[in-house]
Amino acid sequence: MDMRRRMRYLWLRVLRQKDEPERIAGGMALGVFLGFLFPPGVQMIVALALAPLFRFNLLASALGTWVTNPLTIPFIYPTALSLGMYITGLDTHNESVPLEDERFWAFITDFRLHGRAAVLLGAGLLTMGAASALPVYYATKGAVFRFQRRRRKALGALKDTTRKGG
């Protein structure tokens, strides 16, 4: 299954959840926020732990974390680092942050040597996550509401035809 088909399938799974639009949208927004905030592997665990506390949809919160994935991380993390430098007015002391996955994580997690870069990255990721969560919430809520309304309308029409025929 190619990536586009898989993403469409997962999005349809979110839309088809038998839950309130606000809970589904809240789960998706939480997942997106945490997807920016935590490294891959940890983000979904945190999302699944926090979603019930806020009474958000579990599936939507898990899927929302996939905003950061192997295809998007090379774009998100350098942008977050630059944003963190812009927000704080600090720089990385002319340290060149490696963008290759393994070297990047080794660099960022060596807080003693590269603590400033980790803080700047965190500030950028926090800002990007917060800025993304709100539009994701409203877009998801609207999409779920429209999907559920169409479903109710279709089921209502189906019930009307069975009553008339019987």
Output the pLDDT for position 115: 72
Cβ–Cβ < 8 Å for 20, 150: no
Per-residue pLDDT in tens (0 to 9) along the chain, 166 residues = 587 898 899 899 999 999 999 999 999 999 999 999 988 889 999 999 999 999 999 999 999 999 888 788 888 988 998 899 899 887 776 566 666 666 776 776 676 666 777 888 899 999 999 999 999 999 999 999 999 999 988 887 666 666 665 4
Please tell me the predicted confidence (pLDDT) of residue 61. Answer: 96
**CA distances, 104 to each of 27, 66, 122 (Å):** 29, 19, 14
Contact (CB, 8 A) for 64 and 136: yes
What type of residue sits at position 47?
A
Q: At what angle do helices 73-88 and 111-165 cross, to 10 degrees?
A: 120
The reply to whether the predicted model has a pTM over 0.85 is no
Structural tokens at position 54: 């806020």
SS3 157: helix
3-state SS, one letter per residue, for 21-67:
HHHHHHHHHHHHHHHHHCCCCCHHHHHHHHHHHHCCCHHHHHHHHHH
Amino acid at position 18, single letter: K
The one-letter code for the residue type at 151 is R
